[in-house]
């Protein structure tokens, strides 16, 4: 396991030290389809019932939102039951790894778009938007990178990659994570920026350069900075560093339009951290940027073994977090990092000590809706419709359909 994943685990615990402080949602809606018996466990007063049968993508779209998930090619190309459920629930697909450097760049002078193209075609054929993840990251760099890239050629290597990849998918991408995880206070810099080969070779302006190059290659996609950040005290400096970076980029006229917030959450939330997080979303929106929740899941490695208790706690985190997130009109999309517990990176990166299968996602390993699904559905259903969006008429599926109230 690389250092980065340990960091991700640390960040995932951003709410983790606080106790669950009784955010109880409104109970008592008439339940047409009480999907699950309410267990008198952990928070017996909490009601996760959902009205109606609509899929998540429909519930989100009714509020001017996009819902979707990450998946790899291998699952969508081979598991027909999973694929059918993915098409039902998701309005946007983001490749989990197929657009990263390791997948696209077998050698310094080669690009291999085979799997990315398959996924792009799959999304468009099935009426889904397609997200790009990611053009620039300090992780997922191919083996040849360290022997080939240096301060003399780094700019050319970076811009060639972005021009070629963003150019290849131009017109087909809803949004690009142009730069991923550019802020890592634990790396010790006063500006909080991630120490990466790009930063070492090109200085802090590699970020603006990446955005300018992406905009030239694809004039239509929404260009995002994607960061892992939460509302906990341990992220005080991280939030500040991200805001400072965004302000600097905007003041330089950098073509950045949105902040992606990964949201690999720990198993408990506190009201105080949610309030701080709400303020952060407001601060980002005040910069006239959109916000996407890009990699939502709930790490259950430290939660009780009992599935009833665990699922209720995970669902509570989903609903509490999304309720706060969806108060912010600048939020336009919610993506989970996977759809079914059968395929989740946490099985590898955050396994449970008791070896029980992890349950971080809306559908269980048999593709059945869990309470986390209910929690998401409820958050979408309870969200208001005052969203703003960026119309993108060039993309066949690029606009968020507005429905009459």
In the complex with ligand XIL, the residue whose CB is nearer, 329 or 360, is 360
Cis status of the peptide bond prior to 134, with omega within 30 of 0? yes
In the complex with ligand XIL, the residue whose CB is nearer, 100 or 387, is 100
Q: Least distance (Å) from ligand XIL to the CB of residue 300?
A: 16
In the complex with ligand XIL, the residue whose CB is nearer, 48 or 206, is 206
Q: Least distance (Å) from ligand XIL to the CB of residue 143?
A: 15
Q: Least distance (Å) from ligand XIL to the CB of residue 345?
A: 3
Q: Least distance (Å) from ligand XIL to the CB of residue 140?
A: 7
Q: Least distance (Å) from ligand XIL to the CB of residue 349?
A: 7
Interface positions with ligand XIL (CB under 6 A): 8, 96-97, 180, 262, 295, 345
Which position's Cβ is nearest ligand XIL? 345
Q: Least distance (Å) from ligand XIL to the CB of residue 193?
A: 16
In the complex with ligand XIL, the residue whose CB is nearer, 54 or 77, is 77
Length of the chain: 405
Q: Least distance (Å) from ligand XIL to the CB of residue 386?
A: 29
What is the maximum span of the chain, computed from C-alpha positions, in angstroms? 66
In the complex with ligand XIL, the residue whose CB is nearer, 334 or 400, is 334
Residue 381 and residue 51 in contact, taking contact as beta carbons nearer than 8 Å: yes
Tokens of 393: 């008429």
Tell me how far CA of residue 214 lies from CA of 158, 218, 227, in angstroms. 11, 6, 18
In the complex with ligand XIL, the residue whose CB is nearer, 55 or 345, is 345
Q: Least distance (Å) from ligand XIL to the CB of residue 29?
A: 35
In the complex with ligand XIL, the residue whose CB is nearer, 158 or 296, is 296
3-state SS track over the chain: CCHHHHHHHHHHCCCCCCCCCCCCCCCCCCCCECCCCCCCCCCCCCCCCECCCCCHHHHHHCCCCEEEEEECHHHHHHCHHHHHHHHHHCCEEEECCCCCHHHHCCCCCCCCCHHHHHHHHHHHHCCCEEEEEEEECCCCCCCCHHHHCCCCCHHHHHHHHHHHHHHHCCCCCCEEEEEECCECHHHCCCCCECCCHHHHHHCCCHHHHHHHHHHHHCCCCEEEEEECCCCCHHHHHHHHHHHHHHHHHHHCCCCCCEEEECCEECCCCCHHHHHHHHHHHHHHHHCCCEEEEEEEEECCCCCCCCHHHHHHHHHHHHHHHHHHHCCCCCEEEEEECCCECCCCCHHHHCCCCCCCCCCCCCECCCCCECHHHHHHHHHHHHCCCCCCCCCCCCCCCCCCCCCCC
Q: Least distance (Å) from ligand XIL to the CB of residue 232?
A: 18
In the complex with ligand XIL, the residue whose CB is nearer, 74 or 191, is 74
In the complex with ligand XIL, the residue whose CB is nearer, 97 or 362, is 97
């Amino acid at each position: 396991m690389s250092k980065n994943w340990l960091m991700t685990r640390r960040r995932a615990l951003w709410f983790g030290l606080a106790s669950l402080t009784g955010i109880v949602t409104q109970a008592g809606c008439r339940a047409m389809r009480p999907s699950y018996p309410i267990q008198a466990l952990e928070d017996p007063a909490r009601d996760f019932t959902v009205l109606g049968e609509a899929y998540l993508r429909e519930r989100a779209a009714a509020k001017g939102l996009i819902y979707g998930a990450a998946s790899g090619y291998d699952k969508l190309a081979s598991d027909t039951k999973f694929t059918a459920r993915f098409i039902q629930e998701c309005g946007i697909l983001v490749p989990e790894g197929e657009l990263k450097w390791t997948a696209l760049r077998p050698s310094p002078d080669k690009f291999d778009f085979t799997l990315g193209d398959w996924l792009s075609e799959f999304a468009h054929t099935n009426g889904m938007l397609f997200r790009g993840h990611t053009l620039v990251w300090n992780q997922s760099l191919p083996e040849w990178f360290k022997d080939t890239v240096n301060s003399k050629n780094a700019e050319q290597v970076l811009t060639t990659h972005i021009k070629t990849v963003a150019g290849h998918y131009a017109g087909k991408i809803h949004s690009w994570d142009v730069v991923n995880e550019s802020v890592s206070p634990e790396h010790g810099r006063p500006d909080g920026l991630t120490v990466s080969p790009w930063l070492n070779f090109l200085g802090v302006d590699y970020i603006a350069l990446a955005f300018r190059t992406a905009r030239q290659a694809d004039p239509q996609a929404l260009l995002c900075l994607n960061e892992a950040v939460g509302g906990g005290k341990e992220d005080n400096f991280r939030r500040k560093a991200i805001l400072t970076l965004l302000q600097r980029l905007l003041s330089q006229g950098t073509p950045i339009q949105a902040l992606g917030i990964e949201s690999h959450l720990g198993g408990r939330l506190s009201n105080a951290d949610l309030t701080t997080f709400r303020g952060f979303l407001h601060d980002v929106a005040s910069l006239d940027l959109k916000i996407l929740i890009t990699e939502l899941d709930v790490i259950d490695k430290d939660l009780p073994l009992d599935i009833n208790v665990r699922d209720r706690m995970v669902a509570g985190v989903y609903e509490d977090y999304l309720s706060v997130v969806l108060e912010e009109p600048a939020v336009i999309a919610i993506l989970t990092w996977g759809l079914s517990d059968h395929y989740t990176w946490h099985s590898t990166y955050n396994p449970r000590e008791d070896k029980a299968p992890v349950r971080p996602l809306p559908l269980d390993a048999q593709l059945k809706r869990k309470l986390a699904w209910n929690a998401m559905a409820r958050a979408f259903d309870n969200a208001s419709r005052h969203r703003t969006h960026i119309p993108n008429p060039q993309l066949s599926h690029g606009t968020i359909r507005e429905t009459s109230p």
